[in-house]
Structures are given as structure tokens and as C-alpha cells.
Structure 1
Amino acid sequence: MSKFFANVWTKRVVALLSVVYMLFVCRLCYFSIFYDMHINDRVSTCLAVSGVSLAALIIMLYTRHQILTRISSFIILPAMLPVVLLYFGEWGLIIPIIVVGIIILLLSGAGEGIKTALATIILLLYIFGALGYFLFTSFFVAAVKEQVVETGVSPSGTYRYRVVNTDDTSKGSTAVYVEPNYADVKNQFAVFTLKNQEHVVYMERPVQSKVEIKWETQSRQDITDHLNSISDEIEVTVTDAELERLGYTYDNKLMLTNLSASRKFALGLTASDVDPVPLDNLNQEQLDFFGIGKEPNGRYYIADPSPRVVEKNGTEPGQRIYFNEIKPKALKLYNSLNVDPPTGITYFNVAKSHTVMLNSLTDAQLADLGVSASGDVMLLSASKMVVPEEDKNKEDAEATEEVVTAEDKVVFRYYVAELEDYYNVNSRRLSVDLLN
């Protein structure tokens, strides 16, 4: 048996378990950056993590001279830095892993010089990382006192909400947050909720004395009809791929933007008109005025491009530069040249619009854009306490009169959340908001 454990191939195979533990720590690091953690039972979690960490420590000490174990020992402590900072206070989870990381780093089979250098670097990482994090949270994160007064889940179970009263220097506020209820990662020890997914659907100052939340299930067509009855100028932002599916070409959505007053007058507009002008709305004379050509098939091009634009786009002199083929940097240069040299006033810019009018979309097209046939709609009623009018001049007057501030007000529609992609649960972009 002793020969079996002394065999180098046995150690190499067992060293794979060191990599598994290291990957567990790296996954915890990933979760600390993108998820908030809610531990179900701290005692059982501490015991489980301690047991796994002890077993991992024994394995790594046994295989400490193997390259896989050495690499793992170098990664564990740096990977735990975000966990220590962002899950600060969850010591039952943090301490066992940190202890394993320190012991295996000091006792690994790497040379003393390498271990000393790495230990110094890791120590500096922790010192400056902690200093930077706590300075950031002290100076840039407002200190407010929040009280969650109500939580709940929508009828379909797709969304959850919480009503929060905030106590601050401006008499506080009441806010309602809605977030997806399907993006959590759950296990028997903890629940991880995705950060930065809460959407504020209602906020009112000062603190409301009463808030009542109701949910309804409404169909896509009913919501569309209602929104179009409110306004016929509601715009929907879509992607390039969605524009193509809706039947638009690149040239269909080219617009004149940032028009100067003189260019607006040339188009018969007034100085107060601010909406972009589609190139498809211009006649040939107007296109010539702006130096834009149009092919019989509807493709637009720069009629007389600047040599600098030609060079930036990498095209041959005399070759047409079409807007749907122009390089982004060349288009940026082209727009920057459309200015009045003495004043620096921009004449116009050419840009592609990614919006379509809601009233131009059919129910089938909305379905193709990802809007479900029916879903949850939140209605809110709220009231606050105020001082009665007849008592406002009294010094010790109390707020005894209830005033309704909202009654069955629609504050959230699944329809809008899906159409505007409120909850992109697959996004993992790094930002300072993750540090809050």
C-alpha cells in the first residue's frame, strides 16, 4: 500500500482533486462578483466548507510537489480576494478556504524564492484591494437606512418585488423594485441572486404611509391596444438582427441627425424640430444638397467623399462608399467633417436608427421580438399622511390626514420588460455597480 501512495502517477492523479478544489474557489469568486449570496444555515454551511477544505488540504499536502497542486496553491488566495471583500462577514465560508490557501502556499513544493515573492504580491493585493474597496464604498456609496415593508411574487412566478422605505436626509422615500424570479442559483446551503437586476418601477417622496400592490394577467394584444391609445409615437428600440427580421434594410433606417438650423430650413423644417429625418423622406434635390447619392435599389452613398474619408475607409479613389459598408471610424470622420469651420457648428450627421414605431408592429411581429402572449402587470395604490390644512400654522401639528397619491396605477408591464430587455440575465459585464 505504501508503494501505491508513493507512486508518482498516483500523486499525479490525486493532484487532479486539487484542481477541482481550486475550480470550486474560482467559481465562488465568480459568484461573489456577479451574485449576492443568501446563506440558508450558517452552521451547516461552515461545517460543509470546513470538511471539504480539510479534505482538500490533506490531498494538496500529499501532492504538494506536483505541478497541478503548485499551480492551484498559487491561485486560491488571489481568487478569494473578491469573496473576502464582497461577502465580508460570512466568516464560516471564508476562513476555512483562506486557511487552506495560506497553508498550501507556504508548504507547497515550489521554491522558497517563488513562495516568498508570491506571498508578498498576494499580501499587497489584499492590502491595496481592501483599502481601495472600503474607500470606494465610503465615498461613493450613499449611506441610507432601508426597511423592506413587503415582498412578493407575481402570479406567474416570473417576477418578484419588494417595497422599500428609505430613511434619508430628504424625508425618505418609498420605492418598489421588480426583478426576475428565474435567475437565481440555488443549492441546499445558499441562494445566489444575480446583481443589478432590480428595476425601480415606482419611487415617491416622502415615505408613503400605505402601499398596496396588485397583479393582473393581461394579453399582449390588449396591452398593445392600450399603449397605442395613449400615444401613437411610442418607439421601440431593436437590434440590427431584429430590424432585418421586421423587413427593414440598413438604408431604410439611415437618418439625418443633429441638423443645424440652416439645414433644417433647407428641408422646410423649423428650428424647433428635433426629430431625425429619414433619408428615404428626401427627394433627389435634397439628397444632392447634403452630398448623398442614392442607387436605384435604394442604397445610399457619399457623393463626393473627402480624401481623408477614402483613406480611413481603405477604398480606392473614385470608388463609391456606401453607408451600409462604410467602416465605423470612417463614418465617424465623415460626420466630424460636416461642420462650419468658422463656428464649429455641426451641419448634420448620418446615423442608423434602431427604433421602430410601436403602432407599426403587428401582433405576430411583437411575438417574434420576444413578447409573450400574456403576462404579469403590476398595479399600485399608495397614500401618505399630511398635516390637515387647518393645522398647518400650528407648531405641534401632526400629520393625521391621509392623501391618496396613486390609485391602481400601472407601474410595471411584462410586455415592456420583455420588449426593452430589462432583465438580461445572461449579461456578465463588469462595472463598479457590482461593488455596491
Structure 2
Amino acid sequence: MKELLSNVWVKRAVGVFNLVYFAVICMLTGATFLYDLEFTEGQEQSFFTLYVAASVIFLVLMIYSRDVIVTKIMSMVLPLVVFLLMLFNMYDWILIIPPLVMALVMFFVAGTHETAKVVMGTIYLLMYVLGLVVFFVFRLLFGGTSTYTELNANLDRNSDVYKFYSSEFTKICDVTRDDNVLSPNGKYRIIIYDVQNSDKGGVNICVVPHGQDKELRFFTLKQKGIKKTISNKGIRGVVPDVGWSVDEDGTLVVLYRLSPTSEQKKTSVTVMPDKQYLEFLGIR
């Protein structure tokens, strides 16, 4: 067994196998750049357990093959991938911590030349520090302090938003049912957002694509960055009436009434805006 484990070809094979973990982290980073990741109810613990277990196993394998060229290269590149993963999923520590620990340990443990470690370590230190500063500055400038919460039947009963709308929750469930918010052609969905900010807040009515989400075992990747704002004049605490209609010329329109006493308005939905890839910076 000792001879087998010390065999250079076994170590090289393990080094190549470690690419599986690197590929998964890269795919997860790319997926969360394009989509919002929402865990399936009750699956967070299972995912975290599997995620940590896989990270520990691959960490052991990478330490074993630390002198293999493939592992050396991964140890130099993984911190960059994890940095991007952190930017796209800020505060979602379940996704960030395991690969971050992996990247830190392997950067120092891998048999890479010390000069390369010093140079790349300096670059990554500056990138993490300055990059995060720039990230939060952009979030502050473009995202402000507004917090958007989707109003629907799945609203967290323990949240402050639910308490604020508790008397309107029955109406929220009625207005946001699928047969009311889905467009006749099934391509679009109306979403109502509660907006909390430093002012009095508000309610936004938006239209997003429907049917572009990707449902997986532990989570759903929800399309993001494509959103047409129908109205941002709603009164916080008042659930608007919304629905779909089709004009005589076949144009889809959203019908909405911001309050029981206001007049009904309509907005056509013909073309959706281009995808906003920088939404993770707070740019909407």
C-alpha cells in the first residue's frame, strides 16, 4: 500500500481527478453569475453537509498530490475563482466558506515554488482587499440601501415584511396566484416587490421571464437581470391589483391598480430589457 501511495503516476491520476472539484466550483461560480441560487425548502442542511464533505475529501486528495503540476496550477487559480464566487454570492456563506478554506490551505500547502507563492499571494491579497472595497462602494452607489422582498404566498412568516403586510396577506396570496400573474402565452410573470429604503419605501410591479429557471435537487437557479418595471409608485403596505390582458392588436398588457381608490392603468409588454449582468453590484 505504501508503494502504491508513493507511486508518482497514482499521484498524477489523483491530481487529474481533483479537476472535478475545480470544475464544480467554476460551474457554480458561472451559474450564480447568471442566476440567483435559491435553496429548496429543507435542503440547505443536506447540501451543506454534502458540500463540506466533498470539500474535505478533495482537500485531502489535493494535499496528497500537492507536488503534481495539475494540483500546483489549481492552487494558484482557485483563489481567483473563489473571489468571483464571493462577489456573486456575498453573505451566502454556505457557498463561500468551504471553497475559500480549500483555496487558502492549498495555496500554502501545494508544492509551488516560493517565489510564485510570494508574487501570487501579493496579487491576491491586493485583489481581495481592494476588490471588496470597490465592490461595496459600487453596491452603495448603485444599489443604495433599498431592500427588495417579493410578495407572494411563500413570504417568510417570521420576517418584518410579513408583519407589515399581515393584514393584507390573504390578498397577497390571491393576487400572486399563478393563474393571475402568468401571461396568457406563458412567457412572462408579474412580480410584486416590497421596497424598504431610508425613505418611506414603496411597492414595485415588475415583469420577468417565466420558464427559464433551472430546478436541481438541492436548489433552483432562477433567472435574474431581466426585468421590466411596470410601476414603482406603489404605496408600501398596500397590495396592488394586477393582471394580464390582450389588446385588440394582440399586444400583451399588464393591468394594475395601485390602491382600491386609484384608477386602473395598463402597460404593454412587447420587448423585455437586455439582461443586466452587473446586478450583483446592485445595478438594476
Query: TM-score normalized by structure 2?
Result: 0.77
Residue of 259, 278, 281 corresponding to 1:435: 281
Give, in angstroms, the shift of residue 116 of structure 1.
2.6
1:140 aligns with 2:142: yes
Q: Relative to structure 1, is the Cα distance of residues 149 and 33 closer, same or farther in structure 2, using a 3 angstrom cutoff?
A: closer
Q: Which residue of 2 aligns with 1:9?
A: 9
Distance 1:381 1:178, change over 3 A: closer
Residue matched to 2:203: 174
Please state if 1:191 is matched with 2:220.
yes
Instruction: Report the CA distance between 1:121 and its aligned residue.
Output: 1.8
**Contact between 2:186 and 2:210, CA under 8 Å: does it hold in 1?**
yes
CA RMSD of aligned residues (A): 2.7
- Describe the shift of the 1:14–1:410 C-alpha distance in structure 2 as closer, same or farther (beyond 3 A): same
Question: 1:208·1:382 contact (CA, 8 Å) conserved in 2?
Answer: no
Q: CA deviation at 1:208?
A: 7.8
Please report how far the alpha carbon of residue 171 of structure 1 lies from its aligned counterpart in structure 2 after TM superposition.
4.9
Structure with higher helix content: 2
**Corresponding residue of 2:114:** 112
What residue number does 2:23 align with? 23
Match of 1:51 among 49, 53, 68: 53
CA distance in 2, matches of 1:30, 1:383: 38
The partner residue of 2:187 within 158, 167, 173 is 158
Q: Percent identity?
A: 23
Letter in 2 for 1:403: T
In 2 relative to 1, CA 45–158 (structure 1 residues): closer, same or farther, beyond 3 Å? same
Describe the shift of the 1:203–1:190 C-alpha distance in structure 2 as closer, same or farther (beyond 3 A): same
Secondary structure at the residue paired with 2:261? strand
CA deviation map 1:57-90 (0-9, x unaligned): 1111111111111111111111111222331222
Letter in 2 for 1:223: D
2:261 matched to which residue of 1?
A: 403
Report if aligned partners of 1:171, 1:205 keep a CA contact under 8 Å in 2: no
3-state SS, counterpart of residue 249 of structure 2: helix
Which deviates more, 103-112 or 170-179?
170-179
| 1:219-270 CA-partner distances (Å, limit 9, x unpaired) | 9xx535xx6xxxxxxxxxxxxxxxxxxxxxxxxxxxxxxxxxxxxxxxxxxx
- In structure 2, the partner of 1:36 is 36
Q: Which amino acid aligns with 1:95?
A: I
| Conservation of the 8 A alpha-carbon contact between 2:187 and 2:211 | yes
Distance in 2 between the 1:89 and 1:78 partners?
18
Helix, strand or coil at the partner of 1:200: strand
Q: Deviations over 1:43-65 (max 9, x none)?
A: 22211110111111111111111
| Separation in structure 2 between the aligned mates of residue 138 and residue 121 of structure 1, nearest angstrom | 25
Change in Cα spacing, 1:189 to 1:176, as seen in structure 2 (3 Å) is same
1:143 is displaced (CA, Å) by 1.5
Which residue does 2:159 correspond to in 1? none
Q: Which segments of 5 or more consecutive residues in structure 1 lack a partner in the other structure?
A: 228-376, 385-401
Q: Distance in 2 between matches of 1:207 and 1:77?
A: 42
State the one-letter code of the partner of 1:107. Answer: V
Report what 1:202 is aligned to. Answer: 231
- Greater RCO, CA 8 A, separation 6+: 2
Residues in 1 aligned to 2:197 and 2:110: alpha-carbon distance in whole angstroms: 52
In structure 2, runs of 5+ residues without a counterpart are 153-175
Match of 2:103 among 91, 97, 101: 101
Distance in 1 (CA, whole Å) between partners of 2:89 and 2:198 is: 28
Alpha-carbon separation, structure 2, partners of 1:96 and 1:11: 23
1:18-417 maps to which residues of 2 (within 5 A)? 18-40=18-40, 41-150=43-152, 151-153=176-178, 154=182, 157-168=186-197, 171-207=200-236, 209-216=238-245, 222-224=248-250, 377=252, 379-384=254-259, 402-406=260-264, 409-413=265-269, 416-417=270-271
Residue correspondences, number: 253
TM-score, with length taken from structure 1: 0.52
Distance 1:171 1:119, change over 3 A: closer
One-letter code of the match for 1:160?
R
Partners of 2:197 and 2:10 lie apart in 1 by 62
Does the Cα contact within 8 Å between 1:215 and 1:379 map onto a contact in 2? yes
Shift of 1:139: 2.8
